[in-house]
Chain A
Amino acid sequence: MHLPTGAPAARILAFGGYQPAKVVTNHDLAATIETSDEWIRSRVGIASRRIAAPDETVADMAVAAGGKALAASGFSTGDIDLVIVATCTQEAPIPNTSATVAHRLGISAPGAYDINAACAGFCYALASASDAVRAGSARAVLVIGAEKLSQWVDWTDRSTCIIFADGAGAAVVTAAETAQATGIGPVVWGSAGEHADKISIADRQSFIFQEGQSVFRWATTALAPVARAACARAGVEPSQLAAFVPHQANLRIVEAIARQLRAPDMIVADDIVEAGNTSSASIPLALARMTETGQVGSGAPVLVLGFGAGLTYAAQVIIMP
């Protein structure tokens, strides 16, 4: 039996991001629930977030972001042979989001599966895409993080409705010619299933629940070592990073982990301010924005760190396209 023919390494060609049109500010929320703009900004760091239209689905947003990444990549639909969608907020269990998204984008019969690793989903999907290319299971992968958290949120619960939001981000991953041209570093991933009860949705009739203080404590203690391990495995010092893009869970968590990396010159993504917490979409949305604005240049090393319900986490160093 033959072995698959893979590639020496994998790299990212392009990013694409999509945010729904509707903006919901802290003032909008304060009109109907007991909260304030000042409280939300200081505790979570959000000024406004985007909420999908009632009939706008996870697949809709994934198609929008995926289409943008594909257009920016220089690849055509015919080049893509695997589509992975990271999501935990899809409307129904089957069919999966990825097969539908592939079809709607005009990608013909690729492999298609969804990943549920909550807010770590994009990093898990990126690692899986890199592995597929290197091992020879795929030549080019469309990786998408897409979430409609708003349809799982209790809009009268001020502990959650101020945080969660909607959006999608995507990347096109393909082979690198040589090992030196690698653009996706080794993943450091893991889980803490003993904390499964800390962030959950009990069943299809339930809302998202989060034990905020415990999650804050875990995130601000357990994750800097993961980030450092991902840097070490990539052979990149934190001080060499152009940017750090952690999941945009809460600006206080982002700042705490960034501080622990002791790399004052690196840019720290703060997309949450105008995007809210979009789970697996938050990292690719931030990366898409950094690319569009030119905030981080082509070839620069960036550390991405996803973490969330499960609890799950994953980090890797990537090279900006």
Chain B
Amino acid sequence: MAMTDQEILAGLGEIIDEIAGVPADEVTPAKSFVDDLDIDSLSMVEIAVAAQDKFGVEIPDDELKNLKTVQDVISYVQRSAVSA
């Protein structure tokens, strides 16, 4: 069943709140993990693993460097869901 961008954003917000302590409502599509949300590459690994579980997609380690903004993750989840 397809998820909307808004649903993925909300799910990501929960994950980022739990792992990095950033309030979910501060997690908006245009924000960069490193520059805007102060999330480093170790937290990105945890966030990617949690997103894998929540959205049912594979996010391998070498994909992480391409996921620079929140929107990048939303788009990736959508692309992966389509090809699944």
Contacts and interface: CB of A to CB of B under 8 A. Distances in A.
Interface of A: 42-43, 213-214, 216-217, 220-221, 252, 256, 259
B46 A256 contact: yes
B61 A217 contact: yes
B61 A43 contact: no
Given A43-B42, A217-B61, A259 B18 contact: yes
B46 A43 contact: no
Q: Provide the main secondary structure of the chain B interface.
A: helix
B28 to A, nearest CB: 24
B45 A213 contact: yes
A217 B48 CA distance: 10
Contacts of A221: 49
Interface residues of B, number: 10
> Which of B19, B43, B46 has most A Cβ within 10 Å?
B46
22 contacts: A42-B40, A43-B40, A43-B42, A213-B41, A213-B45, A213-B61, A214-B61, A216-B42, A216-B45, A217-B45, A217-B49, A217-B61, A220-B45, A220-B46, A220-B49, A221-B49, A252-B42, A252-B43, A256-B19, A256-B46, A259-B18, A259-B19
A252 to B, nearest CB: 5
A220 B19 CA distance: 12
Q: Provide the main secondary structure of the chain A interface.
A: helix
A220 B43 CA distance: 10
A67 B41 CA distance: 42
A130 B46 CA distance: 35
A43 B43 CA distance: 10
A221 B19 CA distance: 13
Contacts of A214: 61
Nearest to A43: B42
Nearest to A39: B40
Interface string B36-57: 0000111101100100000000
Interface string B53-68: 0000000010000000
A220 B18 CA distance: 14
Contacts of B49: 217, 220-221
